[in-house]
Amino acid sequence: MNQIKYKKIVVKVGTNVITKDNGLLDIPMMKKIIIQLVKLKKLGVEVILVSSGAMGAGKSVVKLDKKTDEVGRRQVLASVGQVELMNVYKRILSKHKFISAQILSTKEDFRDRNHYMNMRNCFSSLSKDNIIPIVNENDVVSITELMFTDNDELAGLISAMMNVDALFLLTNVDGVYDGNPEDKTSRIIHTIEPSAPRRQFATPQISKFGRGGMMTKSKIARKLSNLGIITHIVNGKKNGVILDLFAGDEIGTTFLSIKKISNVKKRLAHAYGQEKGTAYLNELATNIFSNPDRPLSLLPVGVTKITGKFEKGDIIKIIGSRQEEIGLGIAQYGFDTAHSLIGQKGHRALIHYDYLFLNL
C-alpha cells in the first residue's frame, strides 16, 4: 500500500459476521478482522471498532428462565455476553501486543454537549498506537428511548463525531442490491453518489441475531455522505476485505461523499430525538427553509410558537407550517427570551446559520 487511502476509520462488525450459525462466537473470523485492523494501525491509520455480538455471545453462555421478560433477557444476555466478547478481543489483540479498550455507550452520550465532549475526548485519548477502542451499545442500561436503532446508528454517530474519513459496515451480505438479494437477477450496486435519488436500495431484511438491517445501513450511509464521510458496506466474512478496500478494490457498496462540512452540523445531523424544544415556523419561513438558496439563520419573526423549556446551547427542532420536520439547530437563547420575541422583527437569530442543520 503506497498511499494510505484513509487516515481515520470506524469499522462496525455485525453479530452475523462474528457469530456462527449456532450463535457461538466465531473466533477465527474475529481474528481475521482484528489482524486487518492491527495492520492498518501499524500503517498509522486511526481505527475504532464498533462490535455487536454481546447478546449473541450471551446466548451461548447462559440459559434463561422462560419467565424472564424481554428487558431482563436483554440485560442478562448483554452483560454476560459483553464480558465474553471482550475477552476474545483482548486475547486476540494481546497476541499482537495491542491493548483493547472497551467503550459502552447509550444514546444519552450523544445528547448533551458535556456527554458528547466526554465521548469525543475519550476516543481522542484512546487513539494511541497500540490501542484499539472497541465500542458497543450499553445494552444493559440502554432500554427503549435510550436505545440506538442498532449498532449501525452508533457507528454512524461515532463516525460523525470523530470526523472520520470512512465507515466500514461489515455485514454478512455482499452489499446493497438493486433488487431482492435472493433474486438471481439482482446485482450489487457498487457506487452510490450522494445525489442519487432516495429510492429503496435494500430489502427490509434484518439479520438473524443482531438488530440491524440494510435499510438502516443505507440510511446512515446517506447521512454520512452528506457529512463528507464515505461508507463501505461489505461482506465482513470475506478474507481481507478491509485491506482490499484500502488497496482500492471495488468490493461491496460504496456510498460516496460530498465535500466536508462543519463539526457542529455533523453533530446536528445525528441529533434527532435529542432536542429539548421545538420552534414552529410560519408559512413564509417554512417555504424559505424548505428551499434554501443561501445560508439561512432562524429569526424570531418567522416563528409562530415554541415549546420545551430549552436553554441557550440546547438543541431545538424546527417544524414547518405543514408539521414537517425542517431541521435542527442550537438555540442562541433560552425559551423565556425566545418566547418574548416570537413573531417580532429586528432581533438576533434564535438559531444562527452555523448552528443549523436542515434535513437532508
Measured from the CB atom, the residue of 36 and 52 that comes closer to ligand GLU is 52
Q: Pick the binder of ligand GLU from 13, 37, 40, 56 (CB under 6 A).
A: 56
15 makes contact with ligand GLU (CB under 6 A): yes
Region 65-94 residues binding ligand GLU, contact defined as CB under 6 A: none
**CB atoms closer than 10 angstroms to residue 309:** 10
213 makes contact with ligand GLU (CB under 6 A): no
**Residue 107 Cβ vs ligand GLU, minimum distance, rounded to whole Å:** 13
Phi-psi domain of 40 (left: phi exceeds 0; alpha: psi -120 through 50; beta: other): alpha
Measured from the CB atom, the residue of 211 and 317 that comes closer to ligand GLU is 211
**Residue 36 Cβ vs ligand GLU, minimum distance, rounded to whole Å:** 20
Q: Do 22 and 225 touch, CB atoms closer than 8 A?
A: no
Residue whose grid cell is 473470523? 29
Q: Pick the binder of ligand GLU from 133, 175, 210, 277 (CB under 6 A).
A: 210
List binding-site positions: 12, 52, 139, 151
**Residue 313 Cβ vs ligand GLU, minimum distance, rounded to whole Å:** 30
300 makes contact with ligand GLU (CB under 6 A): no
Q: Pick the binder of ligand GLU from 19, 136, 225, 231 (CB under 6 A).
A: 136
**Residue 12 Cβ vs ligand GLU, minimum distance, rounded to whole Å:** 8
Shortest CA distance to 82 belongs to which of 49, 116, 59, 112? 59
Site string for ligand GLU, 92-131 (x = CB under 6 A): ----------------------------------------
Crossing angle (nearest 10°) for helices 214-225 and 151-161: 10
List binding-site positions for ATP: 12
**Residue 189 Cβ vs ligand GLU, minimum distance, rounded to whole Å:** 23
Q: Do 102 and 50 touch, CB atoms closer than 8 A?
A: no
Q: How distant, in Å, are the alpha carbons of 41, 42, 155, 320 from that of 45?
A: 5, 7, 17, 43
212 makes contact with ligand GLU (CB under 6 A): yes
**Residue 51 Cβ vs ligand GLU, minimum distance, rounded to whole Å:** 7
151 makes contact with ligand GLU (CB under 6 A): yes
Between CA 21 and CA 16 the distance in angstroms is 8
Q: Annotate 245-293 with DSSP letters as a single string.
A: HHTT---SEEE---S---HHHHHHHT-TT--SEEEEE-HHHHHHHHS-S
Cα 69–chain centre separation: 28
Q: Pick the binder of ligand GLU from 46, 139, 275, 314 (CB under 6 A).
A: 139
Contacting range for ligand GLU; rule: CB under 6 A; set: 113-121, 136-144, 230-238, 268-276: 136-144
Measured from the CB atom, the residue of 56 and 252 that comes closer to ligand GLU is 56
What are the cell numbers at 161? 463525531
Q: What is the DSSP letter of 61?
A: H
Q: Annotate 149-215 with DSSP letters as a single string.
A: S-HHHHHHHHHHHTT-SEEEEEESS-S-BSS-TTSTT--B--EE-TTS-----S---B-SSSS-BHH
54 makes contact with ligand GLU (CB under 6 A): yes
Contacting range for ligand GLU; rule: CB under 6 A; set: 157-165, 207-215, 241-249, 258-266: 207-215
Q: How distant, in Å, are the alpha carbons of 67, 68, 80, 239 from that of 63?
A: 12, 11, 11, 33
**Residue 182 Cβ vs ligand GLU, minimum distance, rounded to whole Å:** 21
**Residue 205 Cβ vs ligand GLU, minimum distance, rounded to whole Å:** 14
Interface residues toward ligand GLU, by CB under 6 A? 15, 52-56, 136-137, 139, 150-151, 210-212
